[in-house]
């Protein structure tokens, strides 16, 4: 099969590799669509270093079951499926408590986090466990289905963890793919004033189309002043969905008493400071969100199936796997949103 194999940082090679075969309890999926996540780009360019070579990235996937191993009960060849990248045992304390993404025997297909990394979906076929599959609703496109994982992360971070409520004033810092999904979800959940913060004019314009009430350019300076002119009482919820440490520091600066703030976008090991006394008296709440769970995936599927959120609206580029190097170039540009790969 054809796969995009990362052989070293900044050395992505299109090559033929063996097509995987399923072991007991496993399936092989013919990938139809895979989202290009910023964490994939960071691995390719060496921005994140926790990569073991050779590595096949791509963890936002949907496709068709092409082979099943012994003991597989719930899926058959030909089934259209959504792939959850984070695998779990189902038996450890974390799994029993519903925190499958904390699993002590976790693995990931083409992603980040666990030490056990399986080849991902920047390839024509991908092997995974039956427990990581969800049936794709018939009316859902493969592109939309592939975005289940990032949408599920947005739901987990914004709704389950930060507990956004109807009428909350929400600030989303960084409206790339995941930030835009958070924004669309916040609008669907009844946000009051919904402010998108991003240095890209393209991203700000798209955010306004997708439901933001206001958009702020941090490059213009005085970000806090501009935001507090819009919401004088300060934000109820802030989501950092950008990645750079400066955006986390901005989030810290925007807090008022009772603000719920979610460290979502940053995945690199950098530091920021908190004033202990101020943090104490503000009595806000910090959350963070990484990965996904079967619950979050199921919620995301339901949101799409009911037409509550359409993640296809954030797609700006589509490339066949053979043109993945063009996709990497586009990922570096400010005038793009979600990039999709079609193996």
pLDDT per position as a tens digit, 226-266 = 999 999 999 999 999 999 999 999 999 999 999 999 999 99
Regions of the chain where pLDDT drops below 70: none
Helix axes 294-305, 148-155, angle to 10 degrees: 110
Token pair in block for residue 147: 């975005």
Between CA 60 and CA 44 the distance in angstroms is 16
pLDDT score, position 177? 93
Residues forming beta bridges with residue 8, ordered by sequence position:
11
Between CA 240 and CA 263 the distance in angstroms is 5
- Residue listed under structure tokens 């409520």: 165
What pairing do the DSSP bridges indicate for beta strands 125-129 and 133-135?
Answer: unpaired
User: For 76-106, how does the pLDDT look when each residue is reduced to its tens digit (9 = 90+)?
Assistant: 999 999 999 999 999 999 999 999 999 999 9
Contact by Cβ (8 Å): 4, 328: no
Between CA 57 and CA 77 the distance in angstroms is 24
Is residue 86 classed as helix, strand or coil in its secondary structure?
Answer: strand
**Residue among 257, 216, 263, 274 nearest 239 (CA):** 263
Q: How many helices (H) and strands (E) does the chain have?
A: 11, 18
Task: For the chain, list the domains and their CATH numbers.
Answer: 2-146+310-342 (3.90.180.10), 152-288 (3.40.50.720)
Contact by Cβ (8 Å): 14, 324: yes
């Amino acid at each position: 099969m054809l796969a995009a194999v990362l052989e070293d940082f900044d050395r992505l090679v299109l090559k033929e590799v063996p097509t995987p075969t399923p072991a007991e309890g496993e399936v092989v999926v013919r990938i139809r669509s895979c989202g290009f996540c910023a964490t994939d780009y960071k691995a390719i360019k060496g921005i994140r270093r926790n990569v073991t070579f050779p590595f096949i990235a791509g963890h936002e996937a949907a496709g068709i079951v092409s082979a099943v191993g012994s003991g597989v009960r719930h899926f058959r060849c030909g089934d259209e499926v959504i792939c959850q990248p984070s695998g779990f045992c189902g038996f450890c304390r974390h799994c029993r408590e519903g925190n499958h993404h904390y699993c002590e025997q976790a693995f990931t297909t083409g992603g980040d986090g666990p030490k056990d990394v399986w080849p991902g979906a920047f390839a024509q076929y991908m092997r995974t466990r039956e427990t990581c599959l969800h049936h794709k609703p018939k009316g859902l496109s493969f592109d939309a289905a592939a975005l289940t994982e990032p949408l599920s992360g947005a739901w987990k971070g914004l709704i389950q963890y930060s507990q956004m409520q109807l009428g909350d004033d929400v600030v989303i810092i960084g409206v790339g793919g995941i930030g835009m999904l958070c924004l669309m979800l916040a609008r669907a959940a009844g946000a009051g004033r919904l402010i998108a913060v991003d240095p890209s004019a393209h991203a700000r314009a798209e955010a306004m189309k997708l439901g933001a009430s206001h958009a702020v350019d941090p490059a213009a300076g005085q970000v806090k002043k501009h935001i507090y002119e819009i919401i004088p009482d300060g934000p109820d919820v802030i989501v950092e969905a950008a990645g750079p440490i400066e955006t986390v520091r901005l989030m810290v600066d925007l807090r008022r008493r009772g603000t719920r703030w979610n460290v979502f976008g940053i995945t690199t090991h950098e530091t920021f400071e908190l004033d202990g006394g101020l943090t104490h008296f503000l009595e806000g709440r910090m959350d963070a969100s990484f990965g996904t769970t079967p619950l979050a995936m199921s919620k995301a599927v339901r949101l799409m199936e009911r037409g509550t959120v359409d993640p296809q609206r954030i797609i700006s580029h589509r490339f066949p796997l053979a043109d993945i190097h063009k996709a990497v170039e586009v990922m570096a540009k400010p005038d793009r949103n979600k990039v999709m790969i079609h193996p």
